A = this chain, B = another copy of it.
Amino acid sequence: MWEDNVRRVVPYTPGEQPKIQNLIKLNTNENPYPPSPKVFEALKNFDAGVLKKYPDPTVSMLAGAIAKAYSRDISETFVGVGSDDVLAMAFLTFFNSDKPILFPDITYSFYDVWAELFKIPYKRIPLNDDFTVNKEDYFVENGGIVLANPNAPTGVELPYNEVEEIIAKNHDSVVIVDEAYIDFGGRSVIDLIDKYDNLLIVRTYSKSRAAAGLRVGYAFSNKKMISYLQDVKYSFNSYTMNTPSIVLGTAAVEDKAYFEEIRDKVIKTREWTKEELKKLNFSFADSHTNFIFARYNGNMKRDDIVKALRDRSILVRSFNGERVKDYIRISIGTDEEMKIVIDALKEILK
């Protein structure tokens, strides 16, 4: 029976993308602001006629622009269909040991899905009770390490020096640092690429670049590691990036001023939201991301709060699992949106 040879997997469940009018969508950590005006301009100038041809398989325009924006060389830069594609390719390329790869028990829930898909042994390392990483847990034999920093869905950042220690103590493993949320106030370890040869940093356009719909992710590492990653990518799909993503993605990354403007706005709104949530008797680890992972200390149940918000067309995210079952993850929207959320919570919790 052909079904005997099917790879059976339990896929990752993304946050829902419902088609509801006037929804306040705070469930997938998108940016509340539109992409850079340069993206609008590039779209206006885009000639659909070029679509008859294949895109440039080397994606040199986009990869070059990303490299330039972060003062790296293009040979140290990899581009994929969102950071999910980049991470999937990296797991496939670098995690081929018989020893387990390591990641926290509470983290981006795609890591174990990729491990299952590619039959990579893995071990979940429990975070401390305050959701911090205990770095010593990663000073053991392993087949690779993947750390989201700041972590999702907790929002907690592991300090630069501790990330460095983990990289330094694991020279026989590739350490992937998933910096999807780094732009909202975290400190990147990008400069450590020049110091250690086992570090891969993964980033995305979906949060700070306000372009989740473009599906652009990227990675930085040393030339050798990027070259291994490219070989696997070219063994999977010659042309992963379509022409619109190359053209519009280039425009997006070239607009540093706009990027900083909307990043600062999101940070400011986040800090206001933290204060308001505290007043409402929520507690949370301090977030350096564009979301807050909060727990209500009053009597109402988490799922009832989530439902009451949804009844008001406000979508937030919640996860199952013993350690996170009381938490709500709220993405940071505009000031107006967050005021509506806080007002709704006041009403719901009163």
Residues of A within 8 A of B (CB): 1-2, 4-14, 17, 25, 28, 30-35, 39-40, 43, 46, 48-57, 81-82, 84-85, 88, 92-97, 110, 113-114, 116-117, 143-144, 171-174, 197-198, 206, 210-215, 228, 230-245, 248
Contact = CB atoms under 8 A, between A and B. Distances in A.
Contact of A53 (B9, B46, B212): B212
A30 B5 contact: no
Contacts of A233: 11
Contact of A25 (B53, B213, B242): B53
A242 B213 contact: yes
10 closest A-B pairs (Cβ-Cβ)? Answer: A11-B234, A213-B243, A51-B213, A244-B244, A14-B238, A215-B242, A84-B237, A54-B212, A117-B235, A34-B49
Given A53-B212, A240-B215, A232 B84 contact: no
A280 to B, nearest CB: 27
A36 B232 CA distance: 34
B96 A239 contact: no
Interface SS of chain A: loop
Contacts of A237: 81-82, 84-85, 88
A51 B211 contact: yes
A13 B234 CA distance: 8
A52 B231 contact: no
Q: Which of A2, A25, A92 has the most CB of B within 10 A?
A: A2
